[in-house]
Structure 1
Amino acid sequence: MAIPTVKTININKALKYIDQHGIPHNNQSTGYDLINDEGKRYPPKYVIAVAKYLEGQTPDITTLGCGSRTARAFLKKLGFTIAPKNKTNKNMNSKDKVALTKMYSGWLLKSKNIVFRGAPGTGKTYLSKQIAADIISGGYTDKWADLTEAQRRQVEFVQFHPSYDYSDFVEGLRPKMNEDGSMGFELQDGIFKSFVDRARRNFEDSQKPKEVREKEISSSTALEEFFADIEFGEEEFKTIKGSKFTITNMDDKHIYLAIPGNETVNKLSLNIDELRKMLESGLEFNKVSDITKFFGKQFGTQNYSYDFALFKAIKATGKANRKAKVEEEPLKKYIFIIDEINRGEISKILGELFFAIDPGYRGQAGEVATQYSNMHVNPDEKFYIPENVYIIGTMNDIDRSVDSFDFAMRRRFRFVEIGAKSTQKMLDTLSDTNIRTEAKKRMDKLNEAIKNTEGLNENYQIGASYFLNLKDMDFNQLWEDFLAPLLQEYVRGLYDEKGIMQRFAGVYGNSALDEGVADESNEN
């Protein structure tokens, strides 16, 4: 093999290029990695291929003509760290496991966005929840069950699938039953936008002076008490021009009115935030035009007349004059977990949030107008992801959709591999010591056979979570019901599928295979 001739500066450029564009599935390393100062791992042959491409030595990126051993030796000579894959994860004890969780937590806090990638059954989702518990509890626990209900509200979980879209994740129109029985549509926030709004309120409240928060909470309390004391649909109010109306209902965002005397519009919804801001201001509004000026509008709207009437009614109760006592709001961390992140069509799901999700554009520097912003109560309001939001994704390397995973998204996430060997700590939950030892032995042998099969590699290895089924079944049942069907999918289309499966069964130690061989011998 030819000895590579590339400069160190271009090796570093290649690492940045790979960070931005990702690593093609067929260029993943199987034995050794180049590890940079931040702990990121790169396949040595592919690093050199990219460096040669950036230097102009090759018209495209190709690993042909450079052997694995030659690439490793060359990079070592330049001073780069080369290490076996998952070397640090073998034979972990409980202290190692805690340290590993802490390490991943640190990476997430620094990178903002992380994707855990690896073979099926390697516990990526379980690890994600451990990290979330560790961060949310301030390092007190990594057990999800130990978190309080309030702490769990700082974590959200969703699983992507092919039919998942923008309206599920960000916002979209949803059917709604109107009061008269007819069907209509209303704009509703998706799971991510609702979650970010919670984090954003905490972030903004933590930055506000105590006096400002006292005003806000006093106003919110006054509103809650006022609406709790009135009987919807019964108690009448009157605008400054004498139009009578009643409040029929309300939710987090709107107050719904019935105006029986208005022949043109007999129903109306008010933005509850406008009323809240009027109370928070501490100003006295003596006429409707004062409200128009307060909100910076050139012309008033019909709604302001009803805002004015309710404002006066609330002030008359004296509730708005009470001063609430509040503590300073601590800044909290919020973690959003996306399971199977590569199974959804990322560009369709995120839309314009591609920009806002970038770690370099958190906060108002990355604010965007969402697709339905023209339907918002305040069309000028922008959406942004605050600094206290962290995102964890999980994905299987062998999933058919991995290769189409958006390069733009790859650049915004740090990718961390979770190897099959590193997950064996899960098997400590098996109560029978003999079964636990045998499970680890069979798992190691089977995974070694998978790695050495032409057309497969260690991305196809079996994770420890499959062996947790041994709590309810024996090794033969585990093979027949879980492992064999999965491996059959792996080898489909490979040369000598039957022979490969027999070899897998043999190294695994499936007794049913031995019985089948004996039966064939008897027949002969």
Structure 2
Amino acid sequence: MIDIKQMTIHELRNLFNNEESEESEKLLMGLVKVAKKTNNKSAFFGLLMVLIGNQNPSRKFCEFGFIEGLTSSGVGSLKSNFTQNGNKLWNYKGEDGYYNILFGDIIIGAKDDRKMSSRMKAFIENGIPLDNTVEEVIRVLIEKIENSIHSTREERQSLIQKINTCYEELDLSSVSFEAEESGQSTVNKTNVLQVKLEKLINNGVQQIVLTGAPGTGKTYFAKKFAKNLPDVGEINGEKFAFVQFHSSYDYTDFVEGLRPVQIEDGQTQFVKLDGSFKDFCRAVVKENEPNKKYFFIIDEINRADLSRVFGELMYGLEEQYRETIFQTQYSNLPTYEMKNKRAVPMVSDVFENGFFIPKNVYIIATMNDIDRSVEAFDFALRRRFQWIEVKANDVMKDALEGMQQNNEIHQDINLHELIESVKALNSLISGEEGRKMGLTEAHHIGPAYLKSKASDIIDAKGEIWEYRIEPILKEYCRGYHNTQQFLAACESAFLGLSKDE
């Protein structure tokens, strides 16, 4: 029997990566069973870590209590109260009789609450990386689930969605410990996405993917974040470099390649030129500002063949290999640069002995969940990125207020009414009727669809529905039965019409 409580994160990763491990399969199947139970509201809300043991995996749970050591976890069972270090823990049963602990909740024993609170406060203040511990486990779990052949696609998607939903409730950077009689800690949240991204960057995460429904402002947010973050370096007067991937984008565009250019004597010749990312890294090295952060933003990252685009850069992206020299495909050829529309040999090549990615280069990429090309996202590359889901309803208010300030929405429009309308629509999209059409939260209508110059709310919503929302919903529902009936229900939900209207 393997006891996860006694395993380090690295040991846990090795266990999950061992495809032949019987324990690994037990863990995975247990997770799928928990997903089923949780969806039926017959198990804990949000407890998704399964303890491998002698009992049925779906009956024994491993919950992150963030106690001493951080590699062990509080253990709970459906049939018994939680205990940890000999203390009986808080009674988490809600009025409905179900346990309602959220994944990542900080658990404080009912006995010696003040002492336990003080100890945890000391752990956090001493820099124990709670975030990294949880994020590492989540990343390994999701990777393992995605590669599972022992569960259906619906089961895998349901479990991953539940894990992501639970993780969104966790914001350790804003946890303040107060030794109250109840033993509970207070959590304050402001601008969750901003806080989450800053927290990841400050904890050393260097590759991040913002994923979510179309029109949620992922690209806009990435640019704004890079501009406003402290200690950001500039290249050619810009605080970030930006590229958009597409189906024809390849290694030559991103890293390096041979291109036909005119050389000094006016003749056309194929020479090696930097791609966008290598050129950016070269500029960062020349700046010689190791304490500055430099951001490279990739829009629509999943639209390219990522194995062809990144090549051996997948090695260089690993945290432990940052600034480690490796050879690129054309490393045996001299590098040229463009001057006055002519290619000339590079005089001082910082990558002469091989390429490396500077430690202070950060990549923020964006992608839409519903794109079919998402399924082709390279799993080896996927592991090297931290994933953050951007939900339409979560960013709606801030985004629409910004759009109104930029005159993309008329000043006379009541934003509260518009927000309530689109939330009603999104609820229908991801509800029972929407699921019959193959729709999920990934198909929610984001704020970018709500631009309108109309000054009257009724006119604005009518225009938005006719020219922006209805066409995209028709595409989403193509091939399904009862599409017109569903679209009519969506129109009524958004416009606020009764069935008779």
How far apart are residue 469 of structure 1 and its match?
A: 3.5
**Letter of the aligned partner of 1:199 in structure 2?**
V
Match in the other structure for 2:54? none
What is the letter of the counterpart of residue 373 of structure 1? Answer: S
8 Å CA contact 2:234, 2:294 repeated in 1:
no
Pick the structure with more helix per residue: 1
In 1, the alpha carbon distance for the partners of 2:301 and 2:217 equals 15
Residues 382-437 of structure 1 show CA distances to partners (whole Å, capped at 9, x for unaligned) of: 10001111111111000110011000111100011111111111111326365311
Asked which structure has the greater RCO (Cα within 8 Å, sep 6+), the reply is 1
Residue 201 of structure 1: how far off its partner (Å): 2.3
Partner of 2:332: helix, strand, or coil? Answer: helix
Q: TM-score, normalised by structure 2?
A: 0.59
- Note if 1:402 corresponds to 2:362: no
Partner residue of 1:460 out of 443, 462, 482: 443
The code of the aligned residue for 2:388 comes to V
Amino acid in the other structure paired with 2:401: D
Q: Deviations over 1:52-109 (max 9, x none)?
A: x99xxx972458999989x98xx9xxxxx98486698xxxxxx965564243123134
> Pairwise mapping of residues 419-458 of structure 1 onto structure 2 (< 5 A)?
419-424=391-396, 425-429=398-402, 430=404, 432=411, 434-452=413-431, 453-454=434-435, 455-458=438-441
Residue type of the alignment partner of 2:196: M
Q: Distance in 2 between matches of 1:18 and 1:416?
A: 25
Please name the residue that 1:489 is paired with. Answer: 475
- 1:355 aligns to 2:321 (yes or no): no
Give the match's secondary structure for 1:363: coil
1:130 shift after superposition? 2.1
Instruction: Kindly indicate whether the alpha-carbon contact (under 8 Å) linking 1:105 and 1:134 is maintained by their aligned counterparts in 2.
Output: no
1:371 is matched with which residue: 329, 353, 364?
A: 329
Instruction: Say which is worse superposed, 383-392 or 33-42, in terms of deviation.
Output: 33-42
Q: 1:84 to 1:447 in 2, by over 3 A?
A: farther
- Partner in structure 1 of residue 176 of structure 2: none
Counterpart Cα distance in 2 of 1:105 and 1:342: 24
In the TM superposition, what whole-angstrom CA distance separates every residue of 1:271-305 from its partner, at most 9, and x where no partner exists? xxxxxxxxxxxxxxxxxxxxxxxxxxxxxxxxxxx
Structure 1 residues 251-266: aligned runs within 5 Å? none
Matches within 5 A, 1:177-192: 177-178=262-263, 181-192=266-277
Distance in 2 separating the partners of 1:116 and 1:506: 31
Comparing 190-199 with 490-499, which one deviates more in the overlay? 490-499
TM-score, normalising length: structure 1: 0.57
Find the partner of 1:127 among 217, 221, 226: 221
What's 2:297 paired with?
337
Distance in 2, matches of 1:385 and 1:124, equals 25
Write the letter of the residue equivalent to 1:346.
L
Instruction: Provide structure 1 residue ranges, at least 5 long, that are not aligned to the other structure.
Output: 76-80, 89-94, 140-146, 207-329, 519-524
Within 1, Cα distance between the matches of 2:360 and 2:422? 40
Partner letter of residue 256 of structure 2?
Answer: E
The residue correspondences of 1:90-169 to structure 2 (distance < 5 A) are 100-109=193-202, 110-135=204-229, 137-138=230-231, 152=238, 154-169=239-254
User: Partners of 2:366 and 2:382 in 1: how far apart?
Assistant: 13
The residue identity in structure 2 corresponding to 1:484 is E
Aligned mates of 2:385, 2:375 — CA distance in 1: 16
Following the alignment from structure 2 to structure 1, what is the Cα–Cα distance between the partners of residues 142 and 8?
7
Compute the displacement of 1:172 (Å). 1.4
Work out whether residues 9 and 136 of structure 2, in 8 Å CA contact, stay in contact via their aligned partners in 1.
Answer: no
Structure 1 CA distance, aligned partners of 2:153 and 2:137?
A: 11
> Is 1:476 paired with 2:462?
yes
- Displacement after TM superposition at 1:471 (Å): 6.3
User: Are 1:391 and 2:481 matched, yes or no?
Assistant: no
Structure 1 position 360, deviation (Å): 2.5
- Map of 2:407 onto structure 1: none
Greater CA drift, 161-170 or 493-502:
493-502
RMSD value over aligned CA atoms? 4.6
1:413: which partner in 2?
385
Change (3 A) 1:14 1:467: farther
- The 1:406/1:14 distance shift into structure 2, 3 A limit, reads farther
SS in structure 1 of the partner of residue 252 of structure 2: helix
How far off its partner does 1:457 sit? Answer: 1.1
Counterparts in 2 of 1:12 and 1:498: CA distance versus 1, 3 Å: farther
Give the distance between the partners of 1:15 and 1:489, measured in 2 at CA: 42
> How do 1:500-511 and structure 2 match up within 5 A?
500-509=486-495
**Could you tell me how far apart the structure 1 residues matched to 2:444 and 2:158 are?**
21
> Relative to structure 1, is the Cα distance of residues 59 and 387 closer, same or farther in structure 2, using a 3 angstrom cutoff?
closer
- Structure 2 Cα separation of the partners of residues 171 and 62 of structure 1: 40
CA change 1:340–1:369 in 2 (3 A) is same
Asked whether the equivalents of residues 231 and 293 of structure 2 are also in contact (C-alpha less than 8 Å), the reply is no
- The offset of 1:476, in angstroms, is 1.0
Partner Cα distance (2:221, 2:194) in 1: 8
**CA offset at residue 117 of structure 1?**
0.6
Please identify the structure whose Cα radius of gyration is greater.
Answer: 1
Q: In structure 1, how many angstroms separate the alpha carbons of the residues matched to 2:237 and 2:460? A: 39
CA distance in 1, matches of 2:445, 2:453: 14
Counterparts of 2:157 and 2:236, CA distance in 1: 54
Deviation at 1:488, TM superposition (A): 0.9
- 1:38 Cα deviation from its structure 2 partner: 2.1
Would you say the 8 A contact 2:234–2:240 is kept in 1? no
Report what 2:150 is aligned to: 60
Q: By how many angstroms is 1:461 displaced?
A: 0.7
Equivalent position SS for 2:481 = coil
Please report how far the alpha carbon of residue 50 of structure 1 lies from its aligned counterpart in structure 2 after TM superposition.
5.8
With over 3 angstroms needed to count, the CA separation of the structure-2 counterparts of 1:471 and 1:198, relative to structure 1, is farther
Distance in 2 between residues matched to 1:507 and 1:446, nearest whole Å: 5
In structure 2, distance between residues paired with 1:13 and 1:62: 28
Query: The residue matched to 2:194 in structure 1 has which SS?
Result: helix
